[in-house]
Structure 1
């Protein structure tokens, strides 16, 4: 070693510092701020599972649906339809649902069980025996399939003689 050679004080002495530009600093601050917002929204419950309620009326029927508005795979979710018809029902009630919507569910079944069920390429038709009184409640016992990653839009209708007389539309969003 020559007498003028400098002895390093650390193994990091010859590592250059990287200059940080103002753009990099602001980008890092923005990312941290976004992360803080997401954590805060989650902490107050705004990113969790949420039920929605939708209403529709038409041709003497009133539909009310409680459905999973925001859900997560693997969790139980509500799907309860109430059909009201002042004066009561004169025969079986035909409920029509979008088949694609229900592909994201694992089901335990319908309550009450439809007396007849059929489907075409896109919709499922369920005949439910008329209840006493003017209110029919149809429940779907289900949870979101663990493999489901995206939500779906759907619709439910009451059909008379092959014609939808009232339709209700809704959307379920799935979050990771």
Structure 2
């Protein structure tokens, strides 16, 4: 007489449960906790763009810049420069920016458009026609390039007769 084969009640009957050690369980719990923290930070907006405003003064000018302090690739970011000169602007305004900083961005352009623009090895010089009143606002419509990884430091100055009279320095950090 031949022995009869055992017929399983389920296709899972012969699947062994893997023994879990306490170390593996702690590791798994830690990984789940870390992912939960990351998801929670993202849900409340702490992993997006963090903008700040910085100020400087010199040569009769007051500068205020709102820029991305922390950002991620692919996101729209603010970069808005306000220059105030009590008494108003009688001549065109020359704004000088470090060219390397703007390699972080894909741009849609400046508002207002400079009436003239030139550059040297490290800086871009934009000439803006004098606005009415005592305030000039220069906006940069941009987003962080998808290929940008680390961030960059830069500066913006108002120049009169080839001399920087007021300068702001700033740094944008990029996170994954």
Work out the CA distance in 2 between the residues paired with 1:37 and 1:105: 29
The aligned residue for residue 162 of structure 2 is 162
Equivalents in 1 of 2:44, 2:169: separation in Å? 28
| TM-score of the pair, normalised by structure 1 | 0.81
CA-CA distance at 1:80 after TM superposition: 1.1
Question: Which residue in the other structure is 1:87 paired with?
Answer: 87
Any stretches of 5+ residues in structure 2 without a counterpart? Answer: 1-5
| Residue matched to 2:99 | 99
Superposed displacement of residue 141, structure 1: 1.6
Q: Structure 1: 5+ residue runs without aligned partners? A: 1-6
User: Which residue pairs with 1:39 in the alignment?
Assistant: 39
The size of the alignment, in residue pairs, is 174
Pairwise CA distance, 1:129: 1.3
Match of 1:66 in 2: 66
**Aligned counterparts, 1:90-129, within 5 A:** 90-129=90-129
Deviation at 1:91, TM superposition (A): 1.2
**Any idea what the Cα deviations from partners look like across 1:93-128, whole Å, max 9, x if unmatched?**
111111011112122221111122111111111111
